Structures are given as structure tokens and as C-alpha cells.
């Protein structure tokens, strides 16, 4: 039963004319419908409707970019238009699978075939232009299965941050969309909560007072209910839903979805620039991202800002046209000639940038928040305190339980057919409750992330030797204090902390394991203090009142993980020597033992998700490199030479890793490296030329800052090895991309770094719409076919906004690399 909210004072002030316009049927003849374009979505100025251009990609289930979607005045405000089995589905609730998608240009119709295989049920969704928007029809060949009656409905989800505080109206009532979820809910006969609509009717208008966000839904029959999905999960959206009828075929749901458009609307130009600033000697190019309907930006100005606030124009020039990329047109403004230190701003196309510095020390402190704050906050098994704030208590002191064979986990973990462990399923495994970092915005210990992080931190230590000490880390007391020096280099303490988690696996099992993760979704979706996820006490299998809350250890002995872990342990042994000699010796001995073990058995190639290691040959190559660097033994150099086909095939990934040991390889190998590096330079130039930012922008379900940083760091190493082949600019461009010279916005992707930085991110505190200083987010996600996006006001897009610890380590390396390249220039 529908329960419309009572009329509220704000809604009473809406005029009768506004209500009449909202509910008019049929539509006005003068309405302008969007046109199906060559990219197979519906477009008109100010409104795009995507019809299954994007669908669930299998990456952590529902990523909120699927089905029917609305891009309204440049902002994606609605998504997931599809048949769902709940009014407010959660991330891992069932979704239909796409069977087929057909585009009929003659009738301007997109028809998508989908189905729920578990129910033997398929259906079509047809989308075509209508009125000022589109008509959406759900079509059944066969009646709805009995098991889905009363459950299946067409849902369209609206972004809360685009609508909270705005009004809704229907023919049955009106109200305001809440900033914070407040119901309504009821208690079902089974005792479970029932989500009730806060609005309902044959017509529903959101934000009638805002022409930039006004959307009207009309149903030819049946009612549209408006639910608040945040009542069920903090990452939920507002959901407009129409229940699908049982016992019918043909068109069973028929909606029109209209978005108002502002006449002549043009998206404001984005001035992409570094929010941190520039070194005087480096190339300095701002990238202007303009609407497809905008005029050329014309004159751009660089202004110098004095201490008294006075401004002086120091450079003016017409922005140079770069061309089209995705849906926008781009121009560049090159101010490399300006080298005088000072404070500057750019004006172009009616926009003004934030102030930024040109200074020799522009990057000097840019890595500090990552090492000072982000890394300590991510430390597992430690109490972490910052002045008056406790980031978290001492988590997971009850780690961990053995999983059974064949166990599948929803977060891409899985156990092979064998345990590869001396422990029985469900048995407590001692010795795993120290060291390690939270992998990302979640709390698991992912081994593959850990060894990548340790190796990046070792690279920073060996190549740049930063002695910064801002944090007290006491491993014995398992206690951390931010902004309290303890006389030890923080970088070494973080290397030690990650290494302790890696070596613990070898001490307990004799090999690396995929990792440790929460046993169920209830714990996995936990937000807040990680120490409250479990009781910190080892489960007692003989006690029926034991909470059974200890995390699970996945223990398959894969070759890839073993090599990856051995590489990190060999690297750590060098960094820790003279700091923790006993651990350093154990790490090297363990890495050598792993090498001999893997070379004496058939490889274990078990794979699941992204938790069982990378390509085994890539991982072996890194182990050989690190063992060669640690021991100088010829057998490792010989194996590197044998792995040349692997190096050649994936040179961009593997080539830079070899640079530290090139002087230990023979002349013939070094000559091959040089020849292959020259070809890679040309290959990379081709990739980078596809966009105006000079970096590789990936198109996967996880945004590409990792690739940007990886290629920038790789360029630094290749420049060091072959300075005549590799310029310094690709390294600096990667850093400037992170700092704001990128599509969609000009925000710095490093929280708390730069004048305007990422302040709403997917960390452990994401429900507070907050950030962790120094965290780096994945960045710009390109939704098919042509929409670059990074939400600044909605943290729950993990593919755009989730911090990952290994990205922090590689970022620290990049900042040091940039400073090194620019020093003395």
C-alpha cells in the first residue's frame, strides 16, 4: 500500500500552474525530444539518456552505472533503470544478465534483452524518444514467474546528492527529499523491515523548483513509488519504482521520463591545472575542457597575485585548439615561459582557476600527508590516535580462522580444492594478528596489495632515503600516534609493518596466502571503527554463544603469490638491514627458500578474482630482480635473461622493474633492453596522444590513476637508464594529472594536497562524507560511450573514489621522482 507524505509548507507554495505542468498528459506538442545519435544514446542539449550503454561488469556487483541512465546538464543524476527484485536493492542483490542489445536507427529505439537465469525468466526493455525525454517500456513474452510476483519491479535510481533538499510532487501529495534517511519503514509479518515509499502516484516530479534538475516520471497505468534506499544501506539512492503485474504479457510497464532543460545551456569550461603548482623549469600547460556547444575560449590570461592582492597580467594568448576527446572539445594554454616564482591564477572562458604556486619547492611537501596520515590510518592491528581523535582501536586481534576447501567469497577471494594449511576448517590460526594495512576502503588484508606496497616503499627508501619522522609507531604495544616523532624514519617503520604481515604467512604456513577477509556481508559492509567489527577474542567452537566473528584466512599456495611475496621480502631485507637486522635476515632467507621451492615443483596456477597474484612469470621476474639485487647471485641474472619473452611482451609493466639491476646483466641483455625501450617510447607516445593530457586514460570498471602513476614512475626509471631516449615530461605529466589536469573537473585526486582536493572519498569514513589526508582515489572513470566522471559529492563510487594503499606508496615514489628530475634545473 502506498503512503504519500503529508503536504509540507514548502510544497504548499508551489503554484497550481506548476502542478498542472508537472502532471499534464498527453505531452505538449512543442516538446523537444532527444535524438538517438551515432553513439547509440539519446541526446539533446542539457539531457542525455543512456539505454544500457553500460551494464554490470562483474566488478563487485552493482557499481551504479547500468541500464537506463540520465546525464542532466552535465551530471549523471539517475542510473540502474532496470527490473529489480526489491524496492531498494543492495550491492550484492540479484541483477539480471544482459542477453542482447539492439539499436534500430529507423525507429530510434534501443531494445535490450535481459533475464534472471535462476528463475528462467527473460524480458525486453524498450527505450525511444518521447516528449521532452524518453519512453521506457518493459515487455514480457511470458507472464512473470510466480516466485517473482510482488517482487519484480522497474527501478530507476536517483543520485541523492543531486536531489536532497529539493521538493517532490505527485497528484497525491508533496514533500522534500531528505538530506539524511528518515524512513518510512514498517515491520513485516516475518519481523523484517519493509521499505515504504515516501511518495507515490501516477506522476512524480523531482525538483520542480530547479530547472537544472527537474525530472518528471509518468506511468500510463499503475503507480510510481519513491523510496529512500539509504534506509537500507548508506550507499543507497532514491529509487523510483513501478511494480510489475503478474499474469500478463506484452507491455507491462510504460513510463515516460522527462528532464527539463535550460534553453541554450552550456557546460562551464573546466580549466585543468595543477592545484599544487609547478616548478619554474617544468613545462606548464593548462587544458581547457569545453562543452560541445561552447564557443572557442579565446584569450587566456595568466595573472600574478601579489601579497596585497593586486593582480598583474604576465601572459595572455589565444588558447590553442587540441580537438575532440570523448564528449568535450579541448584547448591548451601553454605558460611554460613563465618561470618567476610566485602565486598565479588562470582566467579563460569566463572561469578562473584556484591560485597555485610556481616555486622550486612546489612538490616538496606534497607526499607528507600520505606518509604522515594515510598510511598510519590504514594500519591494521594497531590503535591509531591523532591528538584528540581516535581513528580506530586495535582491530582484528582475533585473526584468523581457516576456510574450508572450495570456499567462494563475494569479495573476489576463493579457496582452492586443497587447504595447503596445517589447520582444519574453522580452526583458529595463531600468529596472524599483527602487521599489515587495510587494503582499501574495506578492512581486508590482501597479500597482492601488500607486496606491491612494500616494494614501492623500499624503492622510495633506496632511491631517495627520506628521513621524515612525524609518527610514533610502537609494534610491541601496537600503538600509533600521529604528529608525534619517535626518532625513527616513518618510511622504515611502514616497510616493517607491511613486511610483518607478509612474513607472518610464511612463519605459519610456509608460503604466501591470498589474504584475510571478513566472513560475511554484515561485517564486510561495516563502516566506522574497524576495532568494533569483531570482539577481538578468539572464537570458541565449543561455546554456542561465541559470536563466530573472526576473519577468514584463504590459504591456497599459489605460485604467483609466492613469487610476489618473495620479491617484497627480498627487497625489504635490504631496507631493514641496520634497522631490524633479525627481520631482514629472516626475510632474505625466506625469499630464497620460496625461490627454491617454486623451482622444485609444478606451479600452482589456481586463480580466482584478483587475489591470487598476477601473471606467474611477471611475479617470478620481480622475485629474480629483487633476489639478484639482494644477493648478486648469477642464477637470478640467468633466469632474468631466460624470461626475456615476458619482458618483451609486457615491457611497459616489466621493463622499468629491471632498471635497478641492469648493471648486473651482460652487455647483450642491456643492448636488447635499450632497443626494446626505444620501441616502447613510441608505443607509449601513441597511447598518450589519444587525449590532451598526455597520459594513458583507461576505460575499465576501475578508474585509471594506478596506470597513470605506474607509467609516470616507469618513465622516470627508463629516463635514468636511457636519458637520451626518455624525456622527463611524461613523469611530470602524470603528477599534474593527479593534481587537477584531467577530464571532468580540476580537483586534486590526492586528499588534502592542493588548493582544491578530494574531500569526499571512499575510505573507511565514507559514510561521513569525509576524507583521509594523503589518500589517492582511482580518478576519472569513463562510462561508455563517452562520459568521464568523478563524483565530488558522493563517496560511494568505489571505482572512482576508493583509496587503495598501494596507490599511496607509488604516489610517494612519483613525487620524489619529480623532485629529483627538477632539482638543479
**What is the C-alpha to C-alpha distance for residues 680 and 651, in angstroms, rounded to an integer?**
7
Rounded-to-integer distance, Cα 659 and Cα 662, Å: 5
Are 567 and 447 in contact by the 8 Å Cβ rule? The answer is no
User: CA distances (Å), 177 to each of 114, 207, 230, 796, in order?
Assistant: 32, 9, 12, 19
Residue 22 pLDDT: 39
Average pLDDT over residues 639-665: 98
Mean pLDDT of 46-66: 90
Q: Over 60: is that where the pLDDT of 23 sits?
A: no
Backbone angles phi, psi at 609, to 5 degrees: 55, -135
Helices 805-822 and 729-738 sit at what angle, rounded to 10 degrees?
Answer: 130
Residue 683 in this model has a pLDDT that exceeds 90: yes
Output the pLDDT for position 57.
76
Q: In whole angstroms, what is the distance from residue 565 CA to residue 587 CA?
A: 10
* Rounded average pLDDT over 749-757: 98
Phi, psi of 541 (to 5 degrees): -65, -20
Tell me the C-alpha distance between 474 and 381, whole Å: 11
Question: Where residue 25 falls among pLDDT bands split at 50, 70, 90?
Answer: very low
pLDDT at 28 exceeding the cut of 80: no
Residue 82 pLDDT: 98
Q: Which has the higher per-residue pLDDT, 543 or 122?
A: 122
Q: For residues 112 and 125, is the Cβ–Cβ distance under 8 A?
A: yes
For the segment 409-467, what is each residue's pLDDT rounded down to a tens digit?
Answer: 999 999 999 999 999 999 999 999 999 999 999 999 999 999 999 999 999 999 999 99
Give dist(CA 241, CA 148) in Å, integer.
15
Q: What percent of the chain has pLDDT over 70?
A: 96
Model pLDDT, residue 9: 35
* 76-80 average pLDDT score: 98
Cell of 211: 530547472
Q: What is the model's pLDDT at position 5?
A: 35
Whether residue 21 has pLDDT greater than 90: no
* pLDDT mean over 650-677: 98
pLDDT of residue 97: 95
Which residues are within 8 A (CB) of 379 and not within 5 positions of it... i.e. 6 or more apart? 436, 437, 438, 473, 480, 497
pLDDT digits (tens, 9 = 90+) for 105-140: 999 999 999 999 999 999 999 999 999 999 999 999
Instruction: Count CB atoms within 10 A of the CB of residue 790.
Output: 22
Give the pLDDT of residue 10.
Answer: 34
Mean pLDDT of the chain: 94
pLDDT of residue 6: 34
pLDDT at 30: 53
The model's confidence at residue 489, banded by pLDDT at 50, 70 and 90, is: very high
Per-residue pLDDT band for 272 (boundaries 50, 70, 90) equals very high
- Is the pLDDT score of 468 beyond 70? yes
pLDDT of res. 617: 98
Nearest Cα neighbor of 593 from 509, 711, 698 is: 509
End-to-end CA distance of the chain: 72
Show the 3-state SS of 185-243: EEECCCCCEEECCCEEECEEEECCCCCCCCEEEEECCCCEEEEEHHHCCCCCCEEEEEE
Least confident of 450-459, 520-529, 572-581, 670-679: 520-529
Nearest-angstrom CA–CA distance, 398 and 495 = 23
**β-bridge mates for residue 256, sequence order:** 135, 218
- Tell whether the model's pLDDT for residue 153 goes beyond 80: yes
**CB under 8 Å to 327, separation ≥6 — which residues?**
292, 786, 787, 788
Q: Which of 4-13, 94-103, 387-396, 791-800 has the lowest mean pLDDT?
A: 4-13
Helix, strand or coil, per DSSP, at residue 464: helix
Q: What is the pLDDT of residue 3?
A: 37
Look at residue 61 in the predicted model and tell me its pLDDT: 78
Q: How far is CA 101 from the centre of its chain?
A: 27
- For the chain, give the percent of residues with pLDDT over 90: 92
Read off the pLDDT of each residue in 506-519 and give the average, rounded to a whole number: 98
Q: DSSP assignment, residue 610?
A: T
- Reported confidence tier of residue 285, pLDDT bands at 50, 70, 90: very high
Confidence (pLDDT) at 814: 98
The pLDDT value given to residue 13: 36
Per-residue CA distances from 376 to 440, 470, 504, 804 (Å): 13, 11, 20, 13
Supply the DSSP string of 721-767, one letter for each residue.
H-TTT--SHHHHHHHHHHTT-SSS---BSBTT-SSSB--S-BSTTGG
Q: Is the pLDDT of residue 11 over 90?
A: no
Q: Label residue 294 by pLDDT band (50, 70, 90).
A: very high
Query: pLDDT tens digits for 257-268?
Result: 999 999 999 999
Q: What is the CA radius of gyration of the chain?
A: 28
Amino acid at each position: 500500500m502506498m503512503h504519500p507524505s503529508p503536504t509540507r509548507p514548502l510544497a504548499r507554495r508551489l503554484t497550481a500552474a506548476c502542478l498542472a505542468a508537472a502532471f499534464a498528459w498527453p505531452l505538449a506538442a512543442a516538446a523537444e525530444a532527444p535524438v538517438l545519435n551515432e553513439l547509440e544514446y539519446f541526446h539533446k542539449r542539457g539531457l542525455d539518456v543512456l539505454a544500457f550503454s553500460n551494464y554490470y561488469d562483474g566488478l563487485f556487483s552493482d557499481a551504479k552505472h547500468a541500464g537506463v541512465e540520465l546525464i542532466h546538464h552535465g551530471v549523471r543524476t539517475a542510473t540502474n533503470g532496470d527490473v529489480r527484485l526489491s524496492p531498494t536493492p543492495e550491492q550484492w542483490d540479484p541483477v539480471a544478465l544482459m542477453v542482447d542489445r539492439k539499436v534500430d536507427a529507423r525507429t530510434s529505439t534501443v531494445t535490450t534483452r535481459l533475464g534472471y537465469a535462476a528463475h528462467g525468466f527473460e524480458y525486453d526493455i524498450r527505450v525511444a524518444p518521447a516528449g521532452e525525454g524518453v519512453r521506457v517500456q518493459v515487455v514480457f513474452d511470458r507472464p512473470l514467474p510466480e516466485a517473482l510476483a510482488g517482487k519484480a519491479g522497474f527501478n530507476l535510481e536517483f543520485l541523492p546528492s543531486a536531489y536532497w533538499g529539493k521538493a517532490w510532487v505527485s497528484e497525491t501529495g508533496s514533500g522534500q527529499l531528505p538530506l539524511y534517511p528518515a524512513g518510512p519503514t514498517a515491520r513485516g509479518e516475518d519481523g523484517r523491515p519493509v521499505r515504504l515509499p515516501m511518495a507515490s502516484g501516477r506522476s512524480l516530479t523531482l525538483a520542480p523548483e530547479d530547472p537544472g534538475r527537474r525530472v518528471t516520471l509518468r506511468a500510463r497505468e499503475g503507480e510510481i513509488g519513491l523510496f529512500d534506499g539509504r534506509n537500507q544501506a548508506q550507499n543507497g539512492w532514491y529509487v523510483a519504482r513501478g511494480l510489475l503485474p503478474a499474469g500478463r504479457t506484452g507491455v507491462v510497464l510504460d513510463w515516460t521520463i522527462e528532464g527539463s532543460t535550460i534553453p541554450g545551456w552550456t557546460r562551464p569550461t573546466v580549466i585543468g591545472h595543477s592545484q599544487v603548482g609547478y616548478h619554474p623549469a617544468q613545462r606548464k600547460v593548462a587544458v581547457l575542457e569545453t562543452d560541445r556547444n561552447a564557443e572557442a575560449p579565446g584569450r587566456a590570461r595568466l595573472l600574478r597575485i601579489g601579497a596585497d592582492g593586486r593582480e598583474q597580467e604576465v601572459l595572455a594568448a589565444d588558447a590553442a585548439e587540441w580537438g575532440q576527446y570523448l564528449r568535450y572539445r579541448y584547448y591548451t594554454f601553454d605558460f611554460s615561459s613563465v618561470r618567476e616564482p610566485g602565486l598565479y591564477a588562470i582566467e579563460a572562458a569566463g572561469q578562473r582557476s584556484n591560485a597555485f604556486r610556481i616555486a622550486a619547492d612546489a612538490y616538496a611537501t606534497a607526499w607528507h600527508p600520505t606518509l604522515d596520515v594515510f598510511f598510519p590510518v590504514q594500519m591494521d592491528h594497531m590503535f591509531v590516535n591523532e591528538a584528540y581523535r581516535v581513528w580506530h582501536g586495535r582491530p582484528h586481534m582475533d585473526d584468523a580462522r581457516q576456510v574450508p576447501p572450495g570456499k567462494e567469497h563475494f569479495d573476489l577471494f576463493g579457496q582452492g580444492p586443497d587447504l595447503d594449511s596445517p589447520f582444519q576448517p574453522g580452526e583458529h590460526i595463531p600468529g596472524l594478528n599483527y602487521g599489515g594495512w587495510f587494503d582499501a576502503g574495506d578492512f581486508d588484508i590482501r597479500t597482492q596489495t601488500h607486496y606491491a606496497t612494500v616494494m614501492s616503499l623500499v624503492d622510495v627508501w633506496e632511491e631517495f632515503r627520506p628521513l621524515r619522522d612525524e609518527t610514533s609507531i610502537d609494534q610491541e604495544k601496537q600503538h600509533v600516534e600521529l604528529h608525534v616523532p619517535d626518532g625513527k624514519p616513518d618510511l622504515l617503520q611502514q616497510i616493517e609493518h607491511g613486511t610483518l604481515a607478509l612474513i607472518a604467512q610464511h612463519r605459519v604456513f610456509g608460503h604466501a596466502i591470498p589474504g584475510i577477509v571478513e566472513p560475511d556481508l554484515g561485517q564486510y559492509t561495516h563502516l566506522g571503527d574497524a576495532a568494533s567489527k569483531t570482539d577481538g577474542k578468539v572464537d570458541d567452537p565449543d561455546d554456542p554463544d561465541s559470536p563466530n566473528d573472526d576473519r577468514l584466512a584463504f590459504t591456497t599456495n599459489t605460485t604467483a603469490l609466492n613469487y610476489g611475496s618473495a620479491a617484497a621480502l627480498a627487497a625489504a631485507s635490504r631496507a631493514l638491514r641496520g634497522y631490524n637486522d633479525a627481520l631482514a635476515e629472516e626475510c632474505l632467507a625466506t625469499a630464497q627458500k620460496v625461490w627454491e621451492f617454486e623451482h622444485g615443483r609444478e606451479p600452482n596456477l589456481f586463480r580466482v578474482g584478483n587475489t591470487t597474484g598476477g601473471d606467474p612469470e611477471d611475479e617470478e621476474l620481480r622475485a629474480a630482480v629483487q633476489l639478484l639485487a639482494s644477493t648478486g647471485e648469477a642464477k637470478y641474472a640467468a633466469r632474468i635473461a631466460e624470461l626475456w619473452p615476458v619482458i618483451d611482451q609486457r615491457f611497459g609493466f616489466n621493463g622499468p622493474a629491471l632498471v635497478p639491476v641492469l648493471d648486473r646483466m651482460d652487455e647483450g641483455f642491456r643492448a636488447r633492453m635499450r632497443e626494446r625501450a626505444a620501441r616502447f617510447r613510441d608505443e607509449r607516445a601513441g597511447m598518450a596522444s589519444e587525449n590532451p593530457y598526455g597520459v594513458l586514460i583507461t576505460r575499465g570498471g576501475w578508474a585509471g590513476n594506478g596506470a597513470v602513476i605506474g607509467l609516470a614512475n616507469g618513465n622516470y626509471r627508463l629516463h635514468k637508464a636511457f636519458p637520451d631516449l626518455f624525456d622527463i615530461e611524461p613523469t611530470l605529466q602524470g603528477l599534474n594529472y593527479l593534481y587537477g589536469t584531467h577530464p571532468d573537473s580540476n580537483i586534486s585526486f590526492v586528499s588534502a594536497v592542493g588548493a582544491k582536493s578530494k574531500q569526499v572519498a571512499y575510505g573507511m569514513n565514507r559514510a561521513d562524507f569525509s576524507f583521509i589526508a594523503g589518500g589517492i582515489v582511482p580518478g576519472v572513470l569513463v562510462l561508455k560511450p563517452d562520459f568521464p566522471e568523478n563524483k565530488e559529492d558522493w563517496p560511494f563510487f568505489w571505482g572512482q573514489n576508493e583509496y587503495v594503499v598501494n596507490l599511496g606508496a607509488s604516489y610517494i615514489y612519483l613525487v620524489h621522482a619529480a623532485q629529483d628530475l627538477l632539482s638543479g634545473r
